A and B are shown apart, each in its own frame.
Chain A
Amino acid sequence: MIDLSHLKADFPVLSNGVHFLDSGASSQKPIPVLEAMDHFARTSYANVHRGAYQLSVAATEAYEAARARVASFIGATDEREVVFTRGATTALNMVAFGWGLEHLGPGDRIMSTEIEHHSNLVPWQMVAKRTGAVLDHIPMTDDFRLDLDAYEKKLGPDVKLVTVTGMSNVLGILPPVPRIADLAHQHGARVVVDAAQLVPHSGVEVTELGADFVAFSSHKMLGPTGIGVLWGRLDALEETEPFEGGGEMISDVTLFESTWAEIPHRFEAGTPPIIQAIGLHAAIDYLDAIGMDQVFQHDRELTEIALDRLSDVPGVQIQGPRGMEDRGGVVSMTMEGIHAHDLATILDDGGVAVRAGHHCAKPLMRRMGVTATTRASFYIYNDEEDIDALIRGLRRAGELFGLGS
C-alpha cells in the first residue's frame, strides 16, 4: 500500500476534516502551489510578451518556463506544442472550431464516443451543425468498455476526426487510446483526446498516446482554475486556425486584415492566465516529486478497497466496471430506492463530499439506464478513513430510507 499520508497537511482545506471525494470535479490546492502564485504576484508580476522593462521580462520568463515545464511533464518534444488555454473545455473548443471549421464539410464524419463528458461532445455537435459534417459515436459495450470492433467497422475514409476521452469521469475506465489513434490514423483521421481526468491521475506521454491533440485542465491536477493546456502536434497546430483574435496573437495588423504570430502565441489571444501558469508549474513540480506512477497506483489502491467494501453495503449498485482492469480512481454508484441527491445530502451530513447527478455526461447516463449516479473520486490526499466515512454514510442512508442494515 502506498503511503502518501504525509501530503495531507499540505492541503489547508482538508484541515477541517472533510472527506473530499470529489477531485474528479476539481482538486484541492497544496500550499506550495498557493505560495508559488503568491510569491510571483508579490515579486515578479507584470504582463507578458510586451513590456521592455525588467519586470515584464521576468514575468515572461516565468510564464514561458511554465510552458517548458508542461512540455517536459507530458513528454512533448517541442515547447511550441503547448498552448495555454482557459481550461480543457476551451482547449477542446479550440480544436473543434479552429480545426473543425477549416477541415470538415458535408459528407465528412466526426467520431466521438457514447461515454464523453459534454465538453467533448457539445462542441462537436455545434461544429457538425455548422459544417454539415455528421457526428457518429463509438458505442459502449455492456461491460462499460468502448466497443472497438464496432469502431473498426464504423471507420472509413469519410471519418476526418476521432475524439475520445483518455479516462472516463463517470466510469473511471481508460480507453486504449494508442490503438484507437492508430486505427484512426490508418484512415487519415486526426485524433483528439480529452485528457482532463487522465493527466491528473495517471500522467501522459503524448508521443506514446498517439493523438494529434490533447486537452487538459490545471484545476483537476492541484493547480489553479482558469488555465488549461491544448497540446497539439506541430503539424496539427499548423492546420489549426486561431479560435480567438486579439492582442498578443498577431504578427501584423492593418485596418482590414492581420497575419498571425508564431505557434503557440497565435492561439493565446489577449492577456493569458499568467499567475495561473506559475501555479500550474508548481503543481506539476509537486506531482512529479511524488511520481505519477505513485499517484496512479495510490488512486487505484483506494478504488480497489472502495469497490470491495461497497459490495457489502445493502442496496449499493456499482455503475461501471467492478474490476480494476484499465481504470483509474473513480467509482460511480446508485443506491436502490434512494436518489443520488438524497444520497449526497446524507453523505454531506457525515462530512463526505461527493458528486451527485449526471456528471455532464447525460448520453452516458441514458445508455446506462440511470438518471443520476453518486460518484466518489480519489486523489493523493485521500486515505482509507475517507472510504470508512463513505461507507458509514451509505449505511446511514439505507437506514433513513428503510433499506435495512
Chain B
Amino acid sequence: MSLEDLYREVILDHYRNPRNKGHLDSPDAVAQGVNPLCGDEITIELNFDGELVSAVAVSGQGCSISQSSASMMTDAIKGKSRTEIETLTKKFRDMMSLDGESDIELDPERPGAVLGDLEALQGVRKFPVRIKCASLGWNVLLDALAPTS
C-alpha cells in the first residue's frame, strides 16, 4: 500500500479547498466532535426542508483525511433525505470496514460510480490508525441527525 494511494489528488483537493466550509445563519441542528487522541475537531450544521437536508456547513481543523472526508461528506448529503443519508453512511462505513467485514463492491472499472469522490478514501483502510480520522465527520453527522440535537 503506497502513500500515493492514501493521499490521492481528490483528497488533497478537498483538504485545500474544503466544500461547504463555514456556518449557517440559523441551523436546525448542530453537532460537534473531537478526536481526543489527535485533537481533530469537526462541527456540522444542518438545515432541513422537511425530510431533506437543504443546507450543510462544516467547520473545524485537523489532518487531510478528517477534513477531506468531512468535505466530501457535505457534498454527498446535500439535498438528500435522512433515509438516503443513512444508506450512504452505511455504504461509507462498509467501505472503511468499520462494522467488520465489508460487503460493498466498488467498481474498479468505473471509479466513483458507487460513492463518488468518497471512494478516494478507501486507501485509508490500509492505514488503521487513520480510519478514525476519516470517520470523525460521519460520527458528527449522525449526532446532528439524531432527534435530540
Q: Judging by beta carbons under 8 Å apart, are B63 and A342 in contact? A: yes
Q: How far is the CB of B129 from chain A (nearest CB, A)?
A: 8
Tell whether, in the assembled complex, residue B130 and residue A357 are in contact, meaning their CB atoms are under 8 Å apart.
no
Bound together, the chains give a CA A402 to CA B12 distance in angstroms of 9
1/0 per residue, CB under 8 A from A, across B62-78: the answer is: 11110000000000000
Docked-complex contact B65 and A342, CB < 8 angstroms = yes
- Chain A residues with CB under 8 Å of B133's CB are 341
A349 touches B3 (CB 8 A): yes
> Shortest CB–CB separation between residue B125 and chain A, in angstroms?
14
One digit per residue, 1 when the CB lies within 8 angstroms of any chain A CB and 0 when it does not, for chain B 37-56 equals 11110000000000000000
Which residues of A have CB within 8 Å of B16?
337
Interface residues of B in 72-123 (CB under 8 A from A): none
Using C-beta atoms within 8 Å of the partner chain, give the interface range for chain A: 10 to 19
Are A356 and B7 closer than 8 Å at their CB atoms?
Answer: no
Is A391 interfacial (CB-CB < 8 Å)? no
> A345 at the A/B interface (Cβ < 8 Å)?
yes
Q: For A400, what are the chain B residues with a Cβ–Cβ distance below 8 Å?
A: 3-4, 7
A339 touches B37 (CB 8 A): no
| A260–B133 CA distance with the chains assembled, in angstroms | 50
A372 and B39 contact, CB distance less than 8 A: yes
Contact among B4, B7, B37, B61 for A342, CB-based, below 8 A: B7
Residue on B nearest A365 in the bound complex, by CB: B39
Q: Which of A337, A342, A358 contacts B39 (CB 8 A)?
A: A358
Q: List A contacts of B130 (CB < 8 A).
A: 341, 345
- Chain A residue, CB-CB nearest to B2: A349
Binary CB contact string for chain B from 127 to 144 against chain A (1 if under 8 A, 0 otherwise): 101100100000000000
Question: Contacts A339-B62, A339-B63 hold; do A356 and B38 have CB atoms under 8 A apart?
Answer: yes
State how many angstroms separate the Cβ of B123 from the closest Cβ of chain A: 11
Q: Which residue of B lies closest to A402 (CB)?
A: B12
| Chain A positions 305-361 with a Cβ under 8 Å from a chain B Cβ | 337-342, 345-346, 349, 356-358
User: How far, in angstroms, from A372 to B61 measured CA to CA in the complex?
Assistant: 10
Instruction: Kindly report which residue of chain B lies nearest to residue A362, judged by CB atoms.
Output: B39
Cβ-based interface call for A371 (8 A): yes
Provide the bound-state CA to CA distance between A77 and B68, in Å. 58
B39 with A371: CB separation less than 8 A: yes
Complex-state Cα separation, A342 to B144, whole angstroms: 27
User: By the criterion CB–CB under 8 Å, are B4 and A341 in contact?
Assistant: no
Interface of chain A residues 360 through 405 with chain B (CB within 8 A): 362, 371-372, 396, 400-402
Rounded to whole Å, the gap between the CB of A393 and the closest CB of chain B is: 10
Q: How far is the CA of A341 from the CA of B61 in the complex (A)?
A: 12
Tell yes or no: B6 within 8 A of A by CB: yes
Q: Is the CB of A357 within 8 A of B61?
A: no
List CB contacts (< 8 Å) of B4-61 with chain A. 4, 6-7, 12, 16, 37-40, 61
Quick check: A357 and B39 within 8 Å, CB to CB? yes
- B65 partner residues in chain A, CB cutoff 8 A: 341-342
Contacts known (A339-B62, A400-B4, A401-B7); A345 close to B127, Cβ less than 8 A: yes
Residues from chain A with Cβ under 8 Å of B4 in the complex: 400
Bound complex: CA A341 to CA B65 (Å): 9
Rounded to whole angstroms, the CA-CA distance of A401 and B7 in the bound complex is 8
**Most chain B CB atoms below 10 A, which of A339, A372, A402:** A339
Name the residue on A nearest B4 (C-beta).
A400
Give the distance in Å from the alpha carbon of A349 to the alpha carbon of B38 in the complex.
19
Question: Restricting to A65-110, which residues have a CB under 8 Å from any CB of B?
Answer: none
Question: Nearest chain-B residue to A337 (Cβ)?
Answer: B16
Provide the bound-state CA to CA distance between A338 and B6, in Å: 14
Query: A357-B38, A357-B39, A358-B39 known; A339 and B64 CB under 8 Å?
Result: yes
Whole-angstrom distance between the Cβ of A364 and the nearest chain B Cβ: 13
List of A residues within 8 angstroms of B129 by Cβ: 345
Q: A357, B37: Cβ atoms under 8 Å?
A: yes
* A401→B4 CA distance, assembly (Å): 10
Q: Which residues of B contact A346 (CB under 8 A)?
A: 3, 7
Compute how far the CA of A371 lies from the CA of B35 in the bound complex, rounded to whole angstroms: 12
Give the contacting residue for A401; candidates B12, B40, B127; CB below 8 A.
Answer: B12
Residues in A with CB closer than 8 Å to B3 are 345-346, 349, 396, 400
- Chain A residues with CB under 8 A of B63: 339-342
Q: Please name all residues of chain B whose beta carbon is closer than 8 Å to the beta carbon of A349 when the two chains form the complex.
A: 3
Q: Point out the residues of chain B lying under 8 angstroms from A356, CB to CB.
A: 38
CB contact under 8 A between A372 and B7, given known A341-B130, A342-B63, A342-B65: no
Expressed in whole angstroms, the Cα–Cα distance for A345 and B16 within the complex equals 18
Report the Cα distance A109→B104, complex, angstroms. Answer: 59
Instruction: Please name all residues of chain A whose beta carbon is closer than 8 Å to the beta carbon of B62 when the two chains form the complex.
Output: 339, 341, 371
How distant is A242 from chain B, measured CB to nearest CB, in Å?
32
How many angstroms between the C-alpha atoms of A358 and B16 in the bound complex?
Answer: 22
13 CB-based A-B contacts, threshold 8 Å: A338-B64, A341-B63, A341-B130, A341-B133, A342-B64, A342-B65, A346-B7, A357-B38, A371-B61, A372-B39, A396-B3, A401-B7, A401-B12
Which residues of B are in contact with A by a Cβ distance under 8 Å? 3-4, 6-7, 12, 16, 37-40, 61-65, 127, 129-130, 133
